[in-house]
Structures are given as C-alpha cells and as structure tokens.
Amino acid sequence: MKTSIFDLENWREIGATLSRNKTRTFLTAFGIFWGTAMLAMLLGGEKGLEHKLMSNFEGFATNCAIIGSGRRTISYEGFNKGSYWSITTDDVEALRNGIPEIDAIAALYSVGGISVTDGSTATASMVQGVSPDFPKIFLPVIYDGRFINASDENASHKVCVIGKQVSEKIYGTESPVGQYLSVGGIYYRIVGVAGQTAEVQVGGAKIDEEVIIPMSAMRRNFNLGNSAGDVCILVRQGISPSSLQPRIERILGRAHHIHPDDHNAMFFFDIAEQFEMVEHLFAGVTLLAMFVGISSLIAGIIGVGNIMWVIVKERTNEIGIRRAIGARPSDIVMQILSEGVALTVVAGLSGIVFSTIVLAAAAKMIGPGFDLQLSTALGIMVTFVILGTLAGLIPSLKAMKIKPIEAINDK
Amino acid sequence: MITLKDINKTYPGAAPLHVLKDISLNIGRGELVSIMGASGSGKSTLLNILGILDGYDSGEYWLDGKLIKNLSENRAADLRNRMIGFVFQSFNLISYKDAADNVALPLFYQGVGRRKRRALAMEQLEKLGLADRAHHLPGELSGGQKQRVAIARSLITRPSIILADEPTGALDSRTSKEVMQIFRDLNSQQGMTIAIVTHDPGVGEQTNRIIRISDGRIV
Ligand SMILES: Nc1ncnc2c1ncn2[C@@H]1O[C@H](COP(=O)(O)OP(=O)(O)OP(=O)(O)O)[C@@H](O)[C@H]1O
Ligand SMILES: [Mg+2]
C-alpha cells in the first residue's frame, strides 16, 4: 500500500506533477542549476587559478632571498656617496659562517651574449657561474648527466651544464654529455643538461637558455677577481629571510664601509615575501569564491523550499483528494519531498555538467588545473540534495497535516 | 453494512457545536438510501464520519463488520482506499490528470502498476459510457461527464459502499437524472450499497429509503 522511493510509479507521478507547471519548474530548476554551476566553477576554477599563479614559483625553494651589491647612498669612512661596492667570496663565507639560519648560500654571476660553439654550430648564450649550493635554491630539472658539484667548484674544473634549449640547438637530440664546448673561446667539458619549471628568471634568463659553469671557473676565466656577483640564500624553514636582513647588512656593511643607515646600498629581494603575498591574495580570492558560491547555494535552496511551499498551498485541494481516496500522510510527504529532490538532482547535475564544460574551455585557454574533481562535484551534489530535502521538509510536513475534509470543503 | 450506535459529534471551538446527537442507524448491504435534511442539519458531517474522513466523540460505528473508532491516519487512509468510494458535489478531480489517470489514482495508492491501472480505469470508464473521453482533462468535460468520471473513480477499488455528497447539486435536471440512473443501475445490477446526501426531493424519491435528519437527529 505504501509507495516507495524506489517505485517507478512514484517517479512517474512526480514527473507528471513537475511537468504540470513547466515555467515555474524551469525557473526553480534554473536557480539550482545556476547555484551548482557557480559553486562548481568557482571551486574548479580556483585550483586552476592557483596553479597559474603558483607556477611562477614552482621548482623554486620559496624561503629564500637574493642579495645584490650596488652603490653607497651615504658617504662613509672615506667612500663617497655613489661609489660602487661588490660582494666577494669572503663575504659569502662570512655570511655562511656568521648566520647559522642560512641553510644554503650560492653566488651567481652571469654574463650575456657569449659565443658558444662545438666547432660547427655556434650560438650566443648567457653564461652563469654558480656555486655548488645553487641547485638547493633553484631546484633545476636535470635532463641528462649531473649538475655542478663542490669538487668542480673547489678545483675550478672547466666543466659546464648546458640548458636544454642550448643543447637542442647545438646537439639536436643527441646527448652532449662528455662533449667539449667552447664558451667564449675556452673549452669546457659538458657534464649535464638542465632546465627549470619555474617562470621566474634569475640573472636575466631561464636555465634552459644558459650555460652554467662553476663560480670559481667563472671568476678565473672572466677575470672577476674575488667578486661573487649576486648571492642567493636559502633560509631555514620557519624563519623569514627579511628578518635576517639587519644582520646581513651589518656583516656586509662592516666589510665594505657602508653607513649603518644606508639601506639602499644593498639590494635585498625576499622571495618568500612575494610568495606569501600571492598566497594571501589567493586566500582572499578563495574566500570570496566561497562566499559567492555559498550565497548562490543558499539562494537555490531557498528557491526550492519556496516553490515546494507554493506547490503545497496551491495543491491543498489536490492533496485533500489524494488523502480521501487513500493516500497515507507518508505518501504525501514522500511525494512533495521527492519532487524537491528530483528537481534538485536534475538541475544540480545539469549545473555540474555545464560547469565541467566551462572549466574544460578555461583549461584549454588558460592552462591546466581548471577541472572539477569528482569528489568536489559529488560533494556539491550531496550538499544540494541534503539541503534541498531539508528545504522541502517544512512544506511537506505542512502538506502532511492537510485534513481531507477541510481541503475538499475549500472549494 | 453500516451500523451506527448513539453517535455524537461536537465541533469544538469558542462556541462548541453539538452537530450529531445520538445518531443510530442501519444501512443494509445492497441498499440505496438518501440522507435528507435542512441545510446545517449535519448531513455532511454524518457522511464524513461514514467515510472515515472525520472522527466522532462517542458511540460506535461498524462498517462491514469492522469497528471504526480511533483509527490511525494510516489505517483510516487504507480503509478509505479499499472500502469506500466518494462522490462529491464539486467532483474533486485532479485538474492536470486526464480522466483515465483520475479514475486510476486510488489504485496507485494500492501499488498497482501503471499499465494495469490504466486498463482497469478504461474498463470502468467504458461501463459508464466515457471511453471516448478517457484522455481528456477534467477541464474539457461537461459537469455530467466529470461526475461520471468521479463515479468511475469511486468504483475502481470495488468498495463496500459509495458515499455521495450532493452528487447532483452542480448538475442540471437532465444530467441529474442520468447520474441518478447510474447509481440506481449500480445498486440494482451489482448490488452496490450507496448512500446519497441530497436536498433534492426528486433524488430522494429514486432511492429505496430516505433517512431524514433534523438538527442533528434522525426523524
Ligand atoms: N469543521 C467544522 N467546524 C465547526 N463547525 C462545523 C464544521 N463543519 C460543519 N460545521 C457546522 O456544523 C453544522 C452542520 O454542518 P454540515 O456541513 O454537516 O451541514 P449539512 O447538513 O451538510 O448542510 P448543507 O446542506 O448546507 O451542506 C453547521 O452548522 C456547520 O456550520
Ligand atoms: Mg453538506
């Protein structure tokens, strides 16, 4: 006697009642459709956006800073305002030994437009000298061979790691490891091929486009003396690179006659701070997305509750007739609830399908990460169905209380 | 078929209204009776109690050997569905369902499959000469046709008794006669027990027995 949710007859009945007022059903369904689509697009798109922003930093230790030398802006100890100073290899050791919070420190010096050739094919490239700590900070991708190591540095080995693009230009698809390459007229043995995933360029080019040699070889072969170029530091997790800035300034200032207040004599770029800024920006965007998504969800659910209420009011007479000819109160509740759930499920699924299409288009145009995880989609659906059911509950309990005589006498 | 013993019914409220006073009556199996009386005398109230649409305060109501008293909503719904067929003055058809679906609806609540429901409904409509109107919505039918659809619906579950409240109240005299003829035929040919509430003496005359009710008492 009792109708069940698994009964096909029940669903036919629901189809018949929902298709009765098509415009209103459509409008309510559209509200839910839009709410789901909105939420799904925001949750799916958020990941894509995050991916897009974070790709700048990928393959890059984030808790690091770059220190560069420049010109004094305050005259001090016989050195005029405007005079140049540069970081030396001694400074690098002084920083390494003086500040234990520094996990890695790498000097790098780059010179552009150097002619690079294997004897037959030539190209102009950026040459970068790096210290052995370099890969700890920049996390290069090694395609072939190995990276520059400490013994290369200590012995000023004439070895190089070439960027993937450089390798392809000169050697095509062959492995260049073991070959000798003339860099600015001096031959270096190739020990590896490398590249990077980050979008950030350090020293004016991506690793893919460079030739990398030991810093010691760089200093000797490019006549740099004891200059160390720019210095990158990797700071222990949990400590902000900027918090070390005063101590770094003190050590370098003392060695180079820089006025203690001359903060502009040195270039200090905290990458962690940039990273954090993006993260904060992103947290804001996420919050906004959640707010908008949840608002549309609530609006959609209220829409369902509202329409169920109207349906019950309008159909008091019908419900009375059904009760008179044998519908149990639970049949009526089931009918009203199922109508709400059916509407929510169909409209919600359409919303998810729609947002999947939009996200796929976004992925094609903007980049990866614009996709809706199945779990997210299911989460949205389940939330909607549960809330839709709850919203339909009050109207259906009202429907249950309708007494057949009163409803029939209404006429 | 129906036995009432000292039924009392009071509508509660600021001024409680004692509508039915010690009503005792018998309606035998296969009887066609009419209930007549002045407006407000309590006819509809009595019929609602007979139809298990409403309860009563004291007394006993036996329907087909069952004591109908203090039933749960579910039990009342099931008994209405299986034992009682209703016909109302205002037809009370569902406007967005066609005639056949309206007739079939009581079977839906018995869990009968759609195909079988439709077939039984068609059969019933045919008996009442409405086969060609089966796919029309109530709005597309005349008053007499609507009432015939309602009668078909009341018959579909093969109930013990048909209860009709002013079934001809909204019909002209010619259609009234047709509808009464249907009731008479059901009674004489199939032995259906029928109770009709009416104002119309012409309708009363066509029944086997007239139960007169005045100010909540049978006279
Ligand atoms: N639900 C209710 N609550 C309170 N009073 C009611 C209710 N239903 C009916 N009454 C009152 O009970 C009395 C009997 O009503 P009932 O509907 O049974 O009369 P009736 O004989 O069917 O009248 P009519 O011929 O006009 O249909 C009337 O005075 C009516 O106002
Ligand atoms: Mg009445």
A312 CA distance to ligand 1 centroid (A)?
26
The pLDDT value given to residue A7: 61
Sequence length of chain B is 219
Within 13 Å, how many C-alpha atoms sit on residue B116's CB side? 9
Considering only CA atoms, which of A147, A140, A133, A152 is closest in space to residue A92?
Answer: A133
> Listing from the earlier edge strand, what are the strands of the sheet with B2-11?
B17-27, B2-11, B58-63, B66-67
Which residues of A lie closer than 8 Å to B, measured between beta carbons?
A: 1-3, 7, 9, 12-13, 16-17, 20, 317-318, 320-331, 403-405, 408, 411
3-state DSSP assignment of residue A79: strand
**Among the atoms of ligand 1, which is closest to the Cα of residue B42?**
18
Q: What is the CATH number of the domain that holds B57?
A: 3.40.50.300
Q: Is B39 in the pocket of ligand 1 (CB under 6 A)?
A: yes
3-state DSSP assignment of residue A181: strand
The pLDDT value given to residue A338: 83
Q: Token digits for A204?
A: 């004016």
What is the Cα–Cα distance from B154 to A1, expressed in whole angstroms?
Answer: 18
What is the Cα–Cα distance from A247 to B88, expressed in whole angstroms?
Answer: 96
Q: Token digits for A220?
A: 């000797």
Q: Which residues contact B80 (CB under 8 A, 6 or more apart)?
A: A324, A325, A326, B51, B52, B53, B86
The pLDDT value given to residue B137: 94
What is the Cα–Cα distance from B182 to B204, expressed in whole angstroms?
Answer: 15
The pLDDT value given to residue B156: 95
Q: What own/partner pairs with CB < 8 Å and gap ≥ 24 does A260-266 have?
A: A261/A74, A262/A72, A262/A73, A262/A74, A262/A76, A264/A70, A264/A73, A265/A69, A265/A70, A265/A71, A265/A72, A265/A73, A265/A74, A265/A85, A266/A67, A266/A68, A266/A69, A266/A70
Cβ–Cβ gap B80/A324 under 8 Å: yes
End-to-end CA distance of chain B: give it in Å, rounded.
21
The shortest CB-CB distance from B73 to any of A2, A328, A408 is to A328
The range of the structural domain enclosing residue B199 comes to 2-218
What is the Cα–Cα distance from A213 to B218, expressed in whole angstroms?
Answer: 117
Cβ–Cβ gap A1/B94 under 8 Å: no
The pLDDT value given to residue A300: 78
Reported as a single tens digit per residue, the pLDDT across A116-168 is 999 888 999 999 999 999 988 888 889 999 999 999 999 989 999 999 999 99
Q: Do residues B180 and B168 make contact, with C-beta atoms less than 8 angstroms apart?
A: yes
What is the Cα–Cα distance from B94 to B81, expressed in whole angstroms?
Answer: 17
What total of structural domains would you count in chain B? 1
Name which residue sits closest to atom 4 of ligand 1, judged by CA: B11
Which residues of chain A register pLDDT less than 50? 1-3, 411
Instruction: Give CA torsion, residues B166, B169, B172, B177, to 10 deg.
Output: 10
The shortest CB-CB distance from B48 to any of A3, A325, A405 is to A405
Q: Do residues A255 and A86 make contact, with C-beta atoms less than 8 angstroms apart?
A: no
Which residues does chain A have within 8 Å of residue B54's beta carbon, measured at their own beta carbons? 405
Sequence length of chain A is 411
Which residues of chain B register pLDDT less than 50? none
> Bridge partners of B210?
B34
